[in-house]
A and B are shown apart, each in its own frame.
Chain A
Amino acid sequence: MFTKLREIRSRVMHRRRWTDFAISLCVWHIFLFGGGAIFTICERPYRDFSYFDGLYMTFVSLTTIGYGDFTPTSTSGRSFFVLWSLLAVPTVTILVANAQDTLVEVLRTITLFFGSVSLFPGEAGFKGEARGLLLKLGFKSRGHDSQVSQMARRNHIHQNQPREMPASRRRFQILLLEEITRIITDLHNQMPQHYPIDRWLWYIKILQGFDNITGTHDASQLRHEGSNPDEPAHMSETSRPSDTTRATYVRSQGCRWELSELSATSPLMGPKEEAEWILQKLLETLKNELADVCKYEEEGSVVQ
């Protein structure tokens, strides 16, 4: 379910970006050809001006090259030019912005592919790179998908080993700070981070707060029920088999969400990026932990 949500989201965003790009490209073409036609109509009474000349002049102006061999000389042409150029320049801007999301990504992948073939060989070899390129361009193959995701998951597992739960409250706070540092470094990368399911479960576990983990509250609130066959079996020790994949996070104040919830507060679907969301929740947890420590100290109990 988790991977399916990811898949759906990436597919939707991919399609949406390409739709935006197509729309702005269409509008740009309307400005080009329509502008050319109108300039022809304006200039034709005064000199020999074919539609191709108008198109040429429009194109040279639109790309802000501005040779000057063809310029609008008639009054109607000049006034229309002022109006048209003030409208067309933002269109070009929006087109460039949209192109950056889509076309540039594709070109970047192609460039890297050629680089890996000729100059900088990658890890997966020629076939792996070619398949990766085709995947990015949108030709998905079912069998390859799981292989790539498994390889990616293996890499993630080696990088981020879920650690043991700390014994004391102070160590737990130190652990929270370490996780916050890690997330901040991830945020600096500026690429949207997609964390794998095991890291999410780790975060959900520590987000519960020290009391919940050590069992002073109802510790059975954390449930991970996995049924997908491609989820590896190294899940956290609190997993229990059931029919759906769901990871719940409950704090003592009663705010609750589900990882695979299809609503806006779920971190996968919400407006925030995953790293931002985790960072915010980690900071809240740390604040609550320190508030608890203050409460204990004021009441005179021993801080463990």
Chain B
Amino acid sequence: MTPRACVLPKDLTANRYVSSFCLVAIIVTASRLAAAGTNPEYHWSQSYYYCIYAATIYFVIAALMSVNFFGARRGHYKHDVSLSTTLRLLMLHSIIFLVIILLGALVFARIEGWSYLDSVYWADVTLLTIGFGDITPTTTLGRALLFPYTISGVICLGLTITSIRRLVLDKGNQARNERVMRKIRDDYLRGMMNDGGKHSTSGFSHTLEP
């Protein structure tokens, strides 16, 4: 049974907008306070930048949601939109992957004594199999825990990538057929007009009897 993804109510959209504005307000206040003395010894922490990214993403999502909401109100979209399995899987896989990154980063930060956001950076680099090597686990416990963590993380990454690929291929098939139809009709009409009626028109029929 696929769940119905109904159009989100206005409150959620409003929530998103409010949260994005709050984040922006925090950033502006912080920069105002610190702008007085641009001390070269201090720099913005990573959280500051993450705040900026989060605010941007929330704002974009809120905009898209409001477009969705007003579009559904006007009747542009169908009313019952069911999530296909591919889409559901993709959402779940990406959420699981992010949870693995964030929770694993927390654990390793406690073990190795890194700051949390440095640990997130390390987890990201490790799980995407990039592996810079600037931050590495040095304690025995950390290195031992690396094995199961990386295995599960890389498997989740693989699942996410497979879901993305399947989604892209599925959408590609649908779009392909619509475009093929249009292209063929246009080509055929153009060919007929160029030939000046050499081919009879009875092959070009839309009659469908159920």
Contacts and interface: CB of A to CB of B under 8 A. Distances in A.
Interface of A: 1, 4-5, 8-9, 12-13, 16, 20, 61, 64-68, 71, 73-76, 78-83, 85-86, 89-90, 93-94, 97, 243-246, 254-258, 260-265, 269-271
Contacts of A8: 183-184, 187-188
A56 to B, nearest CB: 13
19 contacts: A12-B180, A16-B176, A20-B172, A61-B130, A66-B129, A75-B43, A79-B49, A79-B53, A81-B124, A86-B128, A93-B161, A94-B165, A243-B200, A244-B200, A258-B203, A262-B206, A265-B208, A269-B177, A269-B181
B209 A71 contact: no
B204 interface: yes
Contact of A264 (B176, B181, B202): B181
Interface stretch (B11-19, B21-29, B114-122, B141-149): B114-122
Interface residues of B, number: 53
Given A12-B183, A16-B176, A82 B200 contact: no
Contact of A257 (B49, B124, B165, B208): B208
Given A66-B132, A75-B49, A244-B199, A97 B209 contact: no
Contact of A85 (B130, B179, B199, B205): B130
A264 B205 CA distance: 12
B30 to A, nearest CB: 14
Contact of B205 (A12, A74, A79, A261): A261
Contacts, number: 133
Chain B CB within 10 Å — which of A5, A12, A13, A262 has the most?
Answer: A262
B203 A64 contact: no
A13 B206 contact: no
A145 B48 CA distance: 63
A254 B209 contact: yes
Given A86-B128, A263-B206, 13 more contacts: A9-B180, A12-B179, A16-B179, A79-B121, A80-B49, A89-B157, A93-B165, A94-B165, A244-B199, A244-B200, A260-B203, A262-B185, A263-B208
A246 B203 contact: yes
B113 interface: no
Closest 4 CB pairs of A and B: A66-B130, A68-B133, A79-B49, A68-B132
A12 B184 CA distance: 8
Chain B CB within 10 Å — which of A4, A75, A255 has the most?
Answer: A75
B193 interface: no
B89 interface: no
B119 to A, nearest CB: 11
B184 A64 contact: no
Interface string B35-48: 00000000111101
Contacts of B184: 5, 8-9, 12, 262, 269
A209 to B, nearest CB: 17
A13 B176 contact: yes
Interface string B41-63: 00111101110010000000000
Interface in B165-210: 165, 168-169, 172-174, 176-177, 179-181, 183-185, 187-188, 191, 199-200, 202-210
B183 A79 contact: no
A79 B203 contact: no
A71 B180 CA distance: 47
Contacts of B206: 261-263
B106 interface: no
